[in-house]
Structure 1
Amino acid sequence: MMLQVLLLLLPALSPALSWIPVQDWESGNVTASVGLSGQCVCQVYLPDTTFPANRVQHMQQVSKDLILEMEIQINKMERYEVKLVNYLKELTDLTYRVSVLEGSSENYIKLDFELLRIEIREFEYLVYQLKHSLNSSSPLFDSLYTEIRNMTLIVKQLETYDNQNLEVIRIKFAKLQKKLEECQKDHEFIQPDIGNCNHTGILSISKPVVVQLNAHLSASYQYGGWGKDSKPVRGYENMYFYGGFSSPAVYDFYLYSDYEKLILRNAFQHRDIRGWEGTGNNYIVHSNTIYYQRYSPFSMAKLNLTALKYDYRVISDASQTFSYIYSHNQYLDFAADENGLWVMYASENSKGKIVLAKIDEKSFGIKDVWNTGVFKQSAGNAFMACGVMYVTRAVDANTEEIFYAYDTKTKEEKQLSIQFKKFQEKYSNLDYNPSDQKLYMYNNGYYVSYNVSFNKK
């Protein structure tokens, strides 16, 4: 192989020439002559064996290895970045909790007392349920009621004291709990049979259990909803959700791993649905998927919380004219019960009366439709339980009642009067949860829940 170069370019060739052994230069491989134009021409003879082909191949392989290693490191950095974001969030939460603790430990003591108060109210309801299930009155029940009232007074007295007194109330509380369990066992009291619809419908609704103001700690967040997954997936049986807004617009949700995290406002996930905004407040979480009313196009939408996959379906018959009396834009009302997933709406064809539709969870389409006889605009809200639609309305500022029921199995309508107390006059979300047989209400910015009793056959 011969390479001709101008002497003026010889310096540029020097890197290549450096590969040629010295003895090859000395053996006459380099000659010089004068060109036609008078320039000096240098002729260099490079034997094929002197070109470092093996080194080039080696460098190519090294380059590929370096590129692969770089991609691996970039992937590691991306994973580390995600972990770092999570760690920073946890650190922020921890810093906040430490700062609160340094400021005053009373905040955590108040949380413990709040949980105790809620449990005491639930015990009161259990005693009431036990008494009415046996249809009797005895000194035993009177004694339990007295102890519950005393426990309530003790909680109020000790709430201002230190953590040592908190242990005292816990001991007393445990004794009361044990006595109640013994009472239930002695009288063969039947606990709520979750998932069983062997009854003739709702018998009564308990007193309201007011948990606290919403996670934003603002009374201006009057629109929203909260509750539990009606068909929880494995590992998320205790998960709670919350969405609160100052208007009927729906643009994000908060998820809490358990009840205590809900009280502490310590969400493990925040789902922002901007780009897929909703409106109205009758959304639910079912099988780790949020079902809600999409704003544009007007449709029912869902977001899978694991895959973060959106989907929507337009219900051509649904109207944007008829909403519940307490809240605007509640045209599609999602519900879940022991029989599956439902959506309630009104249409021009139904002349404003509620249309009940069964949702096919796999295809996300409408499976069956029932036309009911109740006007949606006269209703406060509606929910499903064991295939029966229950509709509520106001009795007065403090009382709500279930006044109508429609059975999808028999297609029968009933007029009812099952009254229950409201915490405040208006509410924007009311849904039954089959996993614990409770009603969850978002009442003017507050978390409120009720126990549901069914009339057993």
Structure 2
Amino acid sequence: MSQSNLFILMVIIHLSFSQSERGKECVCDLKNLDPPFPKNELTKVETSALQCIETITSEKMTDLDRLMLGLQQRIKQVEENVIVLEKEDDRNLYGAVSLRIIELEIAEIQDLLDKLNRTTQNYHHLSVQTAAQLDAIKDTMLELEKFDKMQVIKRNRERRITKNLEQCKKELKATAAPPTVSSARCGLGRVVSVAGPRTYSLTVFTSYTYGAWGRDAQPAPGDENKYWLVVLSTSNIYGNFIRQYGTLSTLLLGIGPKDTYISSTNPTTNTIQGPNMVMYGNALYYNCYNTYSVCQFNMTTGAVSTVALPKDTGYSNKFPFAHLAATYAYTDMDFATDELGVYVIYATTSNFGNVMISKVETSNPPVLNQTWSTSLHKRTATNTFMVCGVLYATRYLDQETEEIFYSYDTKTKEERFDLKINIKKMQTNIQFLNYDPRDHLLYVYSDAYILTYELIFQ
């Protein structure tokens, strides 16, 4: 029961009049034939509703998902380690060490199982308690609704149902076809929808709403399971370190991170500026501090190499991503990975603030290869990503929905503005979004939460 319905109850008082004459005065007696409105019952309903809101939070609802996901990842890792042990087991010291590692991992799995069991029991108790509260609230509201003699609640309910039905019909009529991606290029077909989120978790950096995360799109041997996380820890604009985790479960649980610093202070030369960055070939690609250049940070050596974009490229908040209500600060340059490599997406004054796409060759130092001009104005989009050489752009629809509305095919140079592929948001803003060609997932950083979505191909 929504709070609007709690206060919309209207009372019509049935009155009876009796009239008598006393001397020269006419006296009327007023009697209320209806029982008094039970204000205390309404107050109890409001209190119960507030208690439910405080008890069941989005953080609690995701705890179980995080534990399940962590457990799945741990079990998968143990299975892989057992396969390796079976191949290498020659009864020497190396096999014994590997067996000990597996024993430790099994112990960690048991700890996760114990925590999962405790959490499940707590949630079961919470579910039973909340269900009883909701039943009591429903019964009370049905009794209170009898005082609504003008049937205001009934008419509002009918209008709301009619509106939802019309919206449903409208969505069913939307038949815009997404662009076709040649199977010869990636073998994926066309993007038809976005499913998920598959992962949804609050980071340990709860106060930093701007950041990025993901996997290396072309990892070194042995680093296939690693994940990286960057938070913009200064004014939601600058960052100077990359945090790495061995697996997704350790990232979600905040276990055993390894920090690599680009610089000791923030902001300064080579500092990360803006939330859009990618990891490719053991190097982080990002917008260098206060310049129109691409930075390449080698995760092993700590060396930084740069390549400059055109001199009229927007930077330092000149051409950020935006929507009608707000802009995403310092998002002038976006970086993307796909099956073909690394790209930088930006805007220039010579192209009237419209999006430019440049292929970044990942040599050392990096160099710019082919560049494409589009007619998409950068401030009309909130994010971009690449799939099989096709650029996709998203825009803000409302607090719950982001829409993939635009595409540009770098092979055919075809543009589309009518895709209408929705992404269900868990938080209001999406500060970072990138496609991983290894698992076909979109990695999202949204108001300090990290999420993944699955791209569905026809």
TM-score normalised by the shorter chain: which range applies? Answer: 0.5 to 0.7
RMSD over aligned Cα, in angstroms?
2.5
Letter in 2 for 1:408: T
Is 1:115 aligned with 2:116?
no
**Matched-pair contact (CA < 8 Å) for 1:281–1:429:** yes
Is 1:429 aligned with 2:418?
no
Q: Alpha-carbon deviation of 1:113?
A: 6.1
Work out the CA distance in 2 between the residues paired with 1:312 and 1:157. Answer: 51
Q: Deviations over 1:222-280 (max 9, x none)?
A: 01011111111110001101011351112211011111221232344212222421211
Q: Secondary structure of 2:196's partner? A: coil
Work out the CA distance in 2 between the residues paired with 1:225 and 1:277. Answer: 15
Instruction: Provide the residue aligned with 2:224 in structure 1.
Output: 237
Q: 2:314 aligns with which of 295, 316, 319?
A: 319
In structure 2, the CA distance between the partners of 1:270 and 1:158, relative to structure 1 (3 Å rule), is closer
Identity of aligned residues (%): 32
**Matched-pair contact (CA < 8 Å) for 1:214–1:244:** no
Letter in 2 for 1:114: R
Letter in 1 for 2:352: K
Q: Alpha-carbon deviation of 1:360?
A: 1.3
Q: Deviations over 1:302-321 (max 9, x none)?
A: 11111221111121242121
Q: Alpha-carbon deviation of 1:409?
A: 0.7
Q: Deviations over 1:376-417 (max 9, x none)?
A: 101010000000000000121100111000001111011211
Instruction: Provide the residue aligned with 2:455 in structure 1.
Output: 452
Matches within 5 A, 1:40-439: 114-116=66-68, 159-161=119-121, 197-216=186-205, 218=206, 220-246=207-233, 247-274=236-263, 275-315=269-309, 316-320=311-315, 321-325=318-322, 326-362=327-363, 363-415=365-417, 416-439=419-442
Work out the CA distance in 2 between the residues paired with 1:428 and 1:118. Answer: 25
Work out the CA distance in 2 between the residues paired with 1:156 and 1:257. Answer: 22
**Matched-pair contact (CA < 8 Å) for 2:345–2:356:** yes
Size of the aligned set, in residue pairs, is 279
Work out the CA distance in 2 between the residues paired with 1:375 and 1:422. Answer: 23
Q: Secondary structure of 1:261's partner? A: helix
Q: Deviations over 1:127-174 (max 9, x none)?
A: xxxxxxxxxxxxxxxxxxxxxxxxxxxx99862549xxxxxxxxxxxx
Work out the CA distance in 1 between the residues paired with 2:217 and 2:438. Answer: 6
**Matched-pair contact (CA < 8 Å) for 2:70–2:253:** no
Work out the CA distance in 1 between the residues paired with 2:455 and 2:222. Answer: 25
In structure 2, the CA distance between the partners of 1:396 and 1:311, relative to structure 1 (3 Å rule), is same
**Matched-pair contact (CA < 8 Å) for 1:223–1:428:** yes
**Matched-pair contact (CA < 8 Å) for 1:254–1:267:** no
Work out the CA distance in 2 between the residues paired with 1:285 and 1:298. Answer: 19
The runs of 5 or more residues in structure 1 that have no matched partner are 1-109, 121-154, 163-193
In structure 2, the CA distance between the partners of 1:266 and 1:195, relative to structure 1 (3 Å rule), is farther
Letter in 1 for 2:208: Y
Work out the CA distance in 1 between the residues paired with 2:184 and 2:219. Answer: 13
The runs of 5 or more residues in structure 2 that have no matched partner are 1-61, 73-114, 123-182, 264-268
Instruction: Provide the residue aligned with 1:20 in structure 2.
Output: none
Work out the CA distance in 2 between the residues paired with 1:371 and 1:328. Answer: 23
In structure 2, the CA distance between the partners of 1:240 and 1:265, relative to structure 1 (3 Å rule), is same
